[in-house]
């Protein structure tokens, strides 16, 4: 009955499930399509041979990959990645994986025998994305087949030569003719070659060493992600719930009473914010300490970054709760509104599953959520073990969001001031 | 220079949407007095109070608390407000409630603790200080509501219908609390729609109706200016008043409502005799007859044509 008189709450109770369903459909519904998620990889060509360049071009032509060979800068052209800078970029979370093509790769790129002495590719990976290195590894093998046919043929010929007791001069001349023909066919664009051999991915033609660039020593590498993801989501819920005290105060008349004293609305909201942020920070602390005690999350050496991220996240989540409470006209409205907004934010912001598994569009949308920035920051602290100064973007965004949301809450709360 | 009045309200006009709540209200509360603001529900009493405490903004007119605007820090510190609703934190104990409102009023440390103890004592809640407020009786909550509004020892107190829904025994305790405040020299604006309360507690009374002060003064002044020397005679007939008797009574200036007959008389003995003769002539028995000197009820009826209880 109450719900019928509270129209906003009534409408929201229908809207929440529809919106939430739509978000999940958008995230998972398109997950099978190749267009949904492109894996961005850094590729380092130390060889700079014809073969290696063709190899890189062929990788570039793969629809599932976005190949980056030099860091992005605003003006001018940056120097190409080196093995070290590519590794740093993966470590920093800019790429889920990087491929290093070593010197001499172009000369003998393909292995035919068990003891082939040739340079090995290095695949650097960030284990927090379990999919990207596998996709990249598979495509490397596929591209090796399609981009360098004459290398493959020559490799095969050399192996036959070695294991068959030696080719006759006639056989060798015939082989060279075939190789010349293959070279001529190189004029065909590499993407066409890639298409022609689609599905024939093969494996083991190119030797690839895969190496995780971070997290090797961690007992439970994903625990920081889950602690941050789930932590932020519940922080938002509890901030919204605690912010609801404002609605109760308005209904009971205590708000009137408070505002008749020297306490202004700004002071009152600031006081509520301090309380909510304290509550939120304590919740995160308890969650991470629990994670360290039960799941082996390493707090040692991470306290500084953890505390900075905790304060920034707590402030952003608390102001969000305050704004929701200020906007809502009743507890019921608040519950419906917070369910809608927090579940949606948590879904696209990466609290429920990692953002890198989502389609690119959703990943971009996720950047408007508190969850995404908070999780990124905590990942930097616990997973990437980056220095505190690297938290600047996350902290700046979260604090900026907190300031904006507080200003919005203050503005909305004008309705409680003297009428 | 004379000290400014605790409260001066001049020509205050306030509307809520298209509805006019106050139509130019003017009143004063003098030092140490209790001014009763008497009127029916919806007359504008609460709007006057909310304007004084800065929770309603009048469109025109002026309000001064000890010579200052309602939002001036001096005005804020020197006034207290006990709202009509029980505006307390029901999950907190009385002591915690008083602590909270004391902090909002700027009290700290020992001064706050002393104020809490004094307020609990004054409200007769010292032995319930640690109970949950939601578990207190209605009367206790009302007293705690008063204590929360006076914890900072205001010199002007605005009491908005503090006895609504309170049993007679609790009401007496509230009257005693108000008496103590008056004895301490606190000036009070007391809104009520109970005439008995206004008559009993207030030094002066302002009658408000439809957002206007229609009369003000001491009880005697109001009665005299409105009713003169007339006194109220009421008769309760033991049988329905027939048409013939009704006609006779109306001719004598009385109003008839069912079995109740009422009139104001300059010369009560003569009027009583004439009324009784009329009843006797029409053979209608009488159950009860009262003669009352001018009451506020009569004043209100005379001024508005309506009963205050309606």
pLDDT digits 0-9 by tens, A105-157: 877 666 555 555 667 888 888 877 777 888 888 888 888 777 766 666 666 66
Contacts B81 to A, Cβ<8 Å: 257, 260
pLDDT at position A212, please? 81
Backbone angles phi, psi at A48, to 5 degrees: 55, 35
Verify whether the Cβ–Cβ distance B55 to A254 is below 8 Å: no
C-alpha distances in Å from residue A293, one per residue of A287, A299, A308, B253: 10, 10, 21, 92
In this prediction, residue A109 carries a pLDDT of 61
What is the helix (H) or strand (E) element at residue A213, kind and residue range? none
Report residue A258 as tokens: 């408070």
Is pLDDT of A199 > 50? Answer: no
CA distances from A236 to A73, A216, A316, A337, A363 (A): 35, 32, 9, 12, 20
Please indicate whether, in this complex, the C-beta atoms of B85 and A262 are within 8 angstroms of each other. Answer: no
Considering only CA atoms, give the Rg of chain B: 23
Instruction: Report the Cα–Cα distance between both ends of chain B, in Å, rounded.
Output: 46
A414 secondary structure, DSSP code: G
Chain A positions in Cβ-Cβ contact with residue B73 (cut-off 8 Å) = 262
Question: Is any Cβ of chain B less than 8 angstroms from the Cβ of A327?
Answer: no
Q: Give the strands of the sheet with B286-292, arranged side by side.
A: B255-257, B260-265, B231-237, B286-292
Residues B190/B178, Cβ–Cβ less than 8 Å:
yes
Q: What is the pLDDT of residues A17-67, one digit of tens each?
A: 777 777 777 776 654 454 456 788 889 988 888 888 888 888 888 888 888
Three-state secondary structure call for residue A266: helix
Test the A interface: residue of B104, B107, B157, B159 with most A CBs within 10 Å: B104
Q: How confident is the model at residue B70, as a pLDDT?
A: 94
Pairwise CB contact (< 8 Å): A418 & B57 = yes
A264 touches chain B (CB under 8 A): no
DSSP string, chain B: -PPPPSEEEEEEEEEETTEEEEEEEEEEE-TT-EEEEE--TTSSHHHHHHHHTTSS--SEEEEEETTB-TTSHHHHHHEEEE-SS--S-TTS-HHHHHHHHHHHTT--HHHHHHHHHHHHHHTT-GGGTTS-GGGS-HHHHHHHHHHHHHTT--SEEEEESTTTT--HHHHHHHHHHHHHHHHTT-EEEEEES-HHHHHHH-SEEEEEETTEEEEEE-HHHHHHHHHTT-EEEEEEESSPPPHHHHHHHHHTT-EEETTEEEEEESSHHHHHHHHHHHHHHTT--EEEEEEE---HHHHHHHHHSS-TT-
User: How close A252 gets to chain B, by Cα (Å)?
Assistant: 5
Q: In this predicted structure, what is the pLDDT of residue A201? A: 34
pLDDT at A187: 47
Mean residue pLDDT across chain A? 80
How far A271 CA lies from chain B's nearest CA (Å)? 11
Q: Is A274 on the interface with B (CB under 8 A)?
A: no
Question: Has this prediction a pTM greater than 0.90?
Answer: no
CB-CB under 8 Å, B16 with A262 = no
The 10s digit of each residue's pLDDT in A290-343 is: 888 888 888 888 899 999 999 999 999 999 999 999 999 888 889 888 988 999
Q: How many residues does chain B have?
A: 310
The larger pLDDT score, comparing residue A223 to residue A191, is at: A223
| Angstrom distance (rounded) from CA A307 to CA A287 | 13
Between chains, do B89 and A263 touch, taking CB under 8 Å as contact? no
Q: Determine whether the interchain pair A256/B83 forms a contact, defined as Cβ–Cβ distance below 8 Å.
A: yes
> Among residues of chain A, what percentage have pLDDT more than 70?
78
Q: Which residues contact A380 (CB under 8 A, 6 or more apart)?
A: A93, A305, A386, A390, A391, A394
- Largest Cα–Cα distance in chain B? 78
Q: Which residues on A lie below 8 Å from B85 (Cβ)?
A: 252-253
Chain B interface includes A260 (CB < 8 A): yes
Report the residue of chain B nearest A256, measured CA to CA.
Answer: B55
Q: Which chain A positions have a beta carbon within 8 Å of B148's beta carbon? A: 257
CB contact under 8 A, A262 and B106: yes
Q: Are residues A171 and A86 in contact, defined by beta-carbon separation less than 8 angstroms?
A: no
- In Å, how far is A253's CA from the nearest CA of chain B? 5
| Among the partner residues B53, B87, B101, nearest to A253 by beta-carbon distance | B87
DSSP assignment letter at A389 = G
pLDDT of residue A138: 84
Task: Output the pLDDT for position A193.
Answer: 36
CA closest to A260 among chain B residues: B53
Query: A361 in helix, strand or coil?
Result: helix
Taking the C-alpha atoms of residue A68 and residue A89, their distance in angstroms, rounded to an integer, is 11
pLDDT at B216: 94
The reported pLDDT for the residue numbered A216 is 63
Joined together, the tokens standing for residue B154 give 């205001």
Q: Do A253 and B77 touch (CB under 8 A)?
A: no
Grade residue A203 by pLDDT with cuts at 50, 70 and 90.
Answer: very low
Residue A336's pLDDT is what? 86
**What pLDDT score does A243 carry?**
86
∠A81-A203-A92 over CA atoms, to 5°?
30
Tell me, what's the pLDDT at A40?
A: 86
B19-29, strands of its sheet edge to edge? B19-29, B7-16, B60-65
Backbone dihedral region of A94: left (phi > 0), alpha (psi from -120 to 50 degrees) or beta? alpha
* Surface of A (164-203) touching B: CB under 8 A: none
* Other CB atoms within 10 Å distance of the CB of residue B66: 20
- Cross-chain CB nearest to B55 (options A254, A262, A418): A418
pLDDT tier for residue A79 given thresholds of 50, 70 and 90: confident
- Which residue ranges in chain B fall short of pLDDT 70? 1, 308-310
Q: Does A270 touch chain B (CB under 8 A)?
A: no
Q: Which of residues 216-255 of A touch B (CB under 8 A)?
A: 252-254
Are A409 and A243 in contact by the 8 Å Cβ rule? The answer is no
Nearest to A209 by CA among A97, A363, A351: A97
CB contact under 8 A, B76 and A260: yes
């Amino acid at each position: 009955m109450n719900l019928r008189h509270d129209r906003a709450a009534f409408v929201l109770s229908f809207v929440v499930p529809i919106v939430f369903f739509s978000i999940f459909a958008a995230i998972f519904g398109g997950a099978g399509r190749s267009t949904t998620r492109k894996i961005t990889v850094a590729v380092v060509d130390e060889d700079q041979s014809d073969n290696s360049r063709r190899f890189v071009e062929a990788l570039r032509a793969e629809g599932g990959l976005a190949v980056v060979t030099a860091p992005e800068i605003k003006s001018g052209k940056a120097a190409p990645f080196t093995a070290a800078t590519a590794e740093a970029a993966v470590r920093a979370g800019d790429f889920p994986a990087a491929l290093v093509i070593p010197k001499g790769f172009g000369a003998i790129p393909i292995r035919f025998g068990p003891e082939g002495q040739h340079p090995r590719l290095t695949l650097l990976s960030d284990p927090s994305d379990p999919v990207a290195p596998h996709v990249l590894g598979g495509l490397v093998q596929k591209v090796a087949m399609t981009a360098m046919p004459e290398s493959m043929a020559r490799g095969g010929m050399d192996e036959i030569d070695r294991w068959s007791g030696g080719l006759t001069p006639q056989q060798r001349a015939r082989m060279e003719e075939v190789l010349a023909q293959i070279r001529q066919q190189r004029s065909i664009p590499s993407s066409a070659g890639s298409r022609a051999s689609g599905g024939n991915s093969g494996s083991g033609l190119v030797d690839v060493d895969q190496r995780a660039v971070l997290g090797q020593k961690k007992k439970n590498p994903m625990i920081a992600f889950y602690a941050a993801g789930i932590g932020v989501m519940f922080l938002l819920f509890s901030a919204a719930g605690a912010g609801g005290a404002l609605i109760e105060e308005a209904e009971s008349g205590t708000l009137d009473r408070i505002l008749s004293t020297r306490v202004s609305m700004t002071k009152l909201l600031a006081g509520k914010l301090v309380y909510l942020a304290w509550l939120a920070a304590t919740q995160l602390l308890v969650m991470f300490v629990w994670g360290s005690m039960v799941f082996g999350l390493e707090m040692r050496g991470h306290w500084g970054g953890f505390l900075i991220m905790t304060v920034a996240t707590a402030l952003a989540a608390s102001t969000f709760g305050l704004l929701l409470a200020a906007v809502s006209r009743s507890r019921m409205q608040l519950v419906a509104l917070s369910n809608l907004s927090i579940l949606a934010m948590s879904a696209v912001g990466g609290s429920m599953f990692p953002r890198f598994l989502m389609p690119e569009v959703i990943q971009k949308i996720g950047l408007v959520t508190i969850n995404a920035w908070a999780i990124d920051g905590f990942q930097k602290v616990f997973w990437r073990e980056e220095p505190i100064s690297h938290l600047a973007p996350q902290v700046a965004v979260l604090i900026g969001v907190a300031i904006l949301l507080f200003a919005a809450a203050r503005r909305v709360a004008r309705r409680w001031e003297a009428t | 220079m004379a000290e400014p009045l605790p409260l001066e309200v001049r020509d205050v006009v306030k509307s809520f949407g298209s509805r006019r709540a106050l139509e130019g209200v003017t009143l004063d509360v003098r030092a140490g007095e209790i001014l009763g603001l008497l009127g029916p529900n919806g007359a504008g009493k609460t709007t006057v109070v909310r304007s004084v405490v800065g929770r309603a903004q009048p469109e025109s007119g002026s309000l001064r608390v000890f010579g200052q605007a309602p939002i001036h820090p001096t005005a804020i510190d020197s006034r207290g407000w006990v709202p009509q609703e029980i505006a307390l934190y029901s999950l907190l104990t009385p002591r915690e409630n008083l602590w909270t409102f004391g902090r909002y009023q700027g009290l700290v440390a020992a001064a706050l603790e002393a104020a809490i103890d004094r307020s609990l004592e004054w409200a007769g809640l010292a032995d319930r200080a640690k109970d949950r407020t939601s578990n207190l009786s209605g009367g206790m909550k009302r007293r705690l509501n008063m204590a929360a509004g006076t914890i900072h020892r205001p010199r002007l107190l605005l009491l908005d219908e503090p006895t609504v829904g309170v049993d007679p025994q609790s009401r007496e305790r509230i009257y005693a609390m108000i008496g103590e405040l008056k004895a301490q020299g606190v000036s009070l604006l007391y809104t009520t729609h109970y005439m008995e309360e206004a008559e009993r507690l207030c030094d002066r009374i302002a009658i408000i109706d439809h957002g206007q002060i229609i009369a003000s003064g001491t009880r005697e002044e109001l009665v005299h200016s409105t009713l003169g020397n007339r006194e109220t005679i009421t008769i309760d007939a033991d049988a329905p008043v027939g048409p013939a008797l009704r006609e006779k009574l109306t001719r004598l200036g009385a109003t008839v409502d069912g079995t109740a007959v009422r009139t104001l008389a300059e010369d009560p003995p003569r009027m009583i005799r004439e009324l009784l003769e009329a009843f006797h002539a029409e053979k209608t028995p009488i159950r009860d007859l009262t003669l009352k000197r001018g009451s506020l009820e009569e004043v209100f009826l005379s001024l508005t044509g309506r009963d205050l209880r309606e």
